Structure formats: structure tokens, C-alpha cells
Amino acid sequence: MKDETKCLHAGYTPKNAEPRVVPIVQSTTYYYDSAEDIGAVFDDPTKSLIYSRFENPTVMAVEEKIAALEGGIGAMCASSGQMASLLAVLNLCGAGDSFVSTSHIYGGTVNLFASTLKKLGIECIFVNGDAGEDEIAAAFKPGTKALFGETLANPALTVLDIEKMAKIAHAKNVPLIVDNTFPTPILCKPIRYGADIVVHSTSKYMDGHALQVGGVIVDSGNFDWHGGDFPGLTSPDPTYHGITYTETYGKMAYIIKARMQLMRDFGAYPSAHSGFLLNLGLETLALRMERYCQSALRVAEYFAASDRIASVSYPGLPGDRYHTLAQKYLKGASGVVTVVLQGGRAGAIRFMDALKLAGNQVHVADIRTCVQHPASSTHRQLTDSQLAAAGVDPGTVRFSVGLEHIDDILEDIEQALR
Ligand SMILES: *Cc1c(COP(=O)(O)O)cnc(C)c1O
């Protein structure tokens, strides 16, 4: 199936006389006829359902759909994009371990990696993703367990050279984890270029309608855990009656460990109703992404031609620094355009307050056009040098193009710039 078709049909196929639409299975638990039946489920939890703290049929239908779109062998949803990134790392790293990440990543992920994980004894070593292979490889230490990057960084809009990063990671026998939130699998499939694990904030384009926060981890099934140092996957788990994930579950080891160990213990699993709403968003994802890309290119061209802005970043623009990488990895550059206003911080805020159609909101990738000033909101906690490392200028406005008519969006920008 092509993506448009997978968006509608992957993950749920009704049998005769069953509901056409994926049903909302709103139940914490699942009924069994006997204690013996329940015992058998605990022996192999992949055979049947136990408890909605870590599995639910509605959410699992969505997981299957997202795995199909990304070209992975399995997926697990989580209560937020932050939780997906956290569990993706915790599934590999414990206290004393480290991982390498590019600094061009979402501000919330910077907080999580640089501060909260540090308190748990896990070190994140930041590198410039545009640096050469040798420089990035030199950042690895003994005990470094993964390499992390963002396909199309929020809000810097830098494009990750996925093949380069996969080469570096694999030479070090660690997996490449890619946050693919902005492109979604419609515009980029990182697994094709060597990514091993893909994470998303589904709160953005996947949900699409600003209805609910969520995240997902997708496993390519391609990484050879025995080739590296991953005892959590390759030796017995005493909390799970001594099974060894790679032995029992083979290629599914990583994603099953994430669910049966981490999600079981943390319980940050979405509700059935959230899964239902996410599915509804996914049904139109391919169609929406196409329009976002068309309209955002028009908006980026408009900004580029204006004498009232300092600079515009949109990898879809031929003059953009990341245009060549975008052409290689992205089918389109998404709906987000970053623009640096003249007059720095004050200029940015004046422009934003003058917009009438585009709403000021702490969100991006919404169906409605919206704007945000990273330096005073999502990236407020970052120091100036962290801001610069994340590619954010004090005058940067993140402009998220929605599905309104392009003429209305451009007219709003024009009057606000005036
Ligand atoms: C929003 C976002 C996150 C965090 O996701 P939440 O769902 O808000 O927790 C992570 N990565 C990227 C690229 C994001 O845009």
C-alpha cells in the first residue's frame, strides 16, 4: 500500500459485521475465563492483553498504522513526545551510560537530555550535527549507547544528514535514534536511510488538530543488539521471569522491552480515546502534509522577498542552507517556516501581536496557522549560548502554516509586516 492508503487502512481490518471504524476499547482490563488462562498470558504477554497501563487495542491499531507508515516492525505510543524520547533513551541507557545528540533539537528535548537525564546519571554529549564524521565520532566515550538527532529540527529547521549519522552510529555499534516529528513519515522515512529507532511527538502533524498530546517510538528491527554492549536486551530480565529479549523476541526485542519493562513500570500509556483521536488525524495526514508544504513554500517566498525581515529559513527554498539535504531526504519541507524579524526580540513580538488570523499559541503544526516566539516561550529556559546552539535568534518567529486559504494567510502577514 502507498502512504495515502496506509493512512486509512493500516492497523485495522474489520471482519464480517464488525465496526467499520476502529472501535474505542475503553477498558482498563481484559476478562479471562480462568486463572490458568491469565497465567498463560503472563508467560507470554505478546499473545494477549493484560492491562491498559501498557497496552490497549485502540492504541495498538494506531501503533500498527504508524509502524507501517515508517517502515518499522513495531511501535509503541506514549503519553507525549517527551515521554517517547525519554523511553527511547532509557531503553538503552542506565546510570553511568551516555549518548550523543546533535544540539539542533527541540528545546524541551534539550531540557530532558541536558538536565533531567543528568540527574538520573545519564550523560548527553551534544555535538554539532553539521560537523564532519570524525568530529562527531570523537565525541563518543566508552559506555555511549546511542546517537540522537532530529530530521527537521524544531525550530531551527536544520536538516539531519541521516546517512552520515547512521554510518557514525553503526561504526560505534550503537543505534541511531531520529526524532521525525516535523516531516512525519509522509515527507521522510528515516529507516530507509539507516535510522534504527524513530520517535515522534504525535501532538504535531500526526494528531494535526491540536486535540491531544502524544508520542510514539518506532523500531526498525534492524539493529544488531549482540554487536554492541546492550545487556538489558541480550541478558535475562529478572523482572520478567528471566527472559532475554533478543532470544525470545528476536528483531522485536527493543520495542517489546520498551513496553513490557518500561511502559509496565512507568505507565505513561495513552488512553483508548486518545488513540481513537490520533487515528482520526492520521487518516488525513498524507493529504494535509501535501497542502502544508505547498502553502509554506509560498509563505517562505513571500518572507524572502520582503525588506522587513532579517532572514528566513525554509529548507524548501532553493537558497536555503539545507536545501540540498532537504532534496535528498524530504518529499517536502513541512508547514513550518522560521523568520527572523528586523529589530530582534522587540520586532518579533510586534509582528506577532499584529497578526490577526495567525494565532499566538504554544503549539506548532496545527491545522490553524499559528506563530510562536521561541526565545520567550519554548526555549525560555535556554541560555543564550544554548539558544544559539539550537539555531534560535532572539528575533526568531516560528510561523506554522495551516490549512486556511493561502491568500488569507499572505494577506495577514502583509498587514502585520506593514
Ligand atoms: C513538540 C516536540 C516534542 C515534544 O513533544 P510533546 O508531545 O510536546 O511532548 C519533541 N520533539 C519535537 C521535534 C517536537 O516538535
Alpha-carbon span 58 to 280, nearest angstrom? 12
Ligand 1 pocket member 213 (CB < 6 A): yes
Alpha-carbon span 314 to 296, nearest angstrom? 8
Ligand 1 pocket member 274 (CB < 6 A): no
Do 22 and 83 fall within a single domain?
yes
The residue among 384, 300, 393 whose CA lies nearest residue 343 is 393
Which atom of ligand 1 sits closest to the CA of residue 105? Answer: 13
Mutate to test the pocket of ligand 1, among 112, 152, 154, 400 (most ligand atoms within 8 A of CB): 154
Q: What is the model's pLDDT at position 385? A: 81
Q: What is the mean pLDDT of residues 79-92?
A: 98
Do 173 and 317 fall within a single domain?
no
The residue among 257, 254, 258 whose CA lies nearest residue 228 is 254
Categorize the per-residue pLDDT at 361 as very low, low, confident or very high, splitting at 50, 70 and 90.
confident
Do 203 and 252 fall within a single domain?
yes
Q: What is the model's pLDDT at position 158? A: 95
Q: What pTM value is reported for the model?
A: 0.96
Residue 250 domain boundaries: 3-280
Q: What one-character-per-residue DSSP string does 174-188 give?
A: --EEEE-TTTHHHH-
pLDDT over 70, % of the chain: 100
Sign of CA dihedral 299, 302, 308, 311: positive
Ligand 1 pocket member 207 (CB < 6 A): no
Q: What is the model's pLDDT at position 317? A: 97
Q: What CATH number did the domain enclosing 296 receive?
A: 3.90.1150.10
Ligand 1 pocket member 203 (CB < 6 A): yes
pLDDT tens digits, one per residue of 155-209 = 889 999 999 999 999 999 999 999 999 999 999 999 999 999 999 999 999 999 9
Q: Identify the bridge partners of residue 264 per DSSP, sorted by sequence position.
A: none
Helix/strand/coil percentages in the chain, nearest 5: 45, 15, 40
Amino acid at 389: A
Q: What is the mean pLDDT of residues 2-7?
A: 98
pLDDT tens digits, one per residue of 228-266 = 999 999 999 999 889 999 999 999 999 999 999 999 999
Alpha-carbon span 183 to 150, nearest angstrom? 10
Could you tell me the three cell numbers for 344?
Answer: 530582534
Q: What CATH number did the domain enclosing 213 receive?
A: 3.40.640.10
Q: What is the model's pLDDT at position 380? A: 81
Which of 108-117, 161-170, 339-348 comes out lowest in average pLDDT? 339-348
pLDDT tens digits, one per residue of 128-161 = 999 999 999 999 999 999 999 999 998 889 999 9
Alpha-carbon span 410 to 299, nearest angstrom? 7
Do 292 and 385 fall within a single domain?
yes
Query: Pick from 231, 258, 280: which residue ends a domain?
Result: 280
Ligand 1 pocket member 369 (CB < 6 A): no
Q: What is the model's pLDDT at position 212? A: 95
